[in-house]
Each structure stands twice: as structure tokens, then as C-alpha cells.
Amino acid sequence: MSRKTDAASAPAAVAEPDPAADEKRLKLALEIDRTMREQAPAGWKGDQAREAQVLNALFPLLDRNREATLALFDLVKHQPGYG
């Protein structure tokens, strides 16, 4: 018994990686790391004023996107290396 294949059941094409996008993400990750290491005050986690300093340092890195900044802040806040 043979099966017919149509466009709906055909496997999706695999996109080639975009080196420019990868480079952009790498630069952003390194900039976030540098910012956290250089600008985050000691003992910032749990201190409202110091957490605000961290948020203010991250905000311009994400093109002043508040939602993205808050999501990133939540991630770095739970990373053991940034404390």
C-alpha cells in the first residue's frame, strides 16, 4: 500500500543558520555579562534600590524594551554568578 504525500504532511524545510544573527546574539550576551559584572552593585538581589540600578543598566541593552528588560532581569536574578 503506497501513501500519498501532500504539502501538509511533507516535512518542513530546515532553515540555514544565520551567522549575522548568531553574531548579534553573541555580542548581546557578552554585553549583558559585562554590564552585570561591572555595574551591578554588590548585594543587589532583594534590595529594591539596587535592583532598580540593575534594571536601569540592562534597559538600554534591549533597545529600551521594558518587557524584554524585565524578562532578562528575572533570568539574571536567578543566576548564581550574578550576586
Q: Which of 74, 39, 64, 37 is nearest to 53 (CA)?
A: 39
Sequence ranges of the domains in the chain: 20-77
Instruction: Tell me the whole-structure pTM to 2 decimals.
Output: 0.76
The pLDDT value recorded for residue 16 is 80
Indicate whether 66 pLDDT > 90.
Answer: yes
> 21 is written with which cell numbers?
544573527
Task: Decide if pLDDT at 63 tops 80.
Answer: yes
Counting beta carbons within 10 angstroms of the beta carbon of residue 46, is it exposed (0 to 12), middle (13 to 18) or buried (19 or more)?
Answer: exposed
For 5-36, the pLDDT digits (tens) are: 555 666 677 778 888 999 999 999 999 999 99
Cβ–Cβ contacts within 10 Å for residue 28, how many?
Answer: 13
Whether residue 64 has pLDDT greater than 60: yes
Per-chain mean pLDDT for the chain: 90
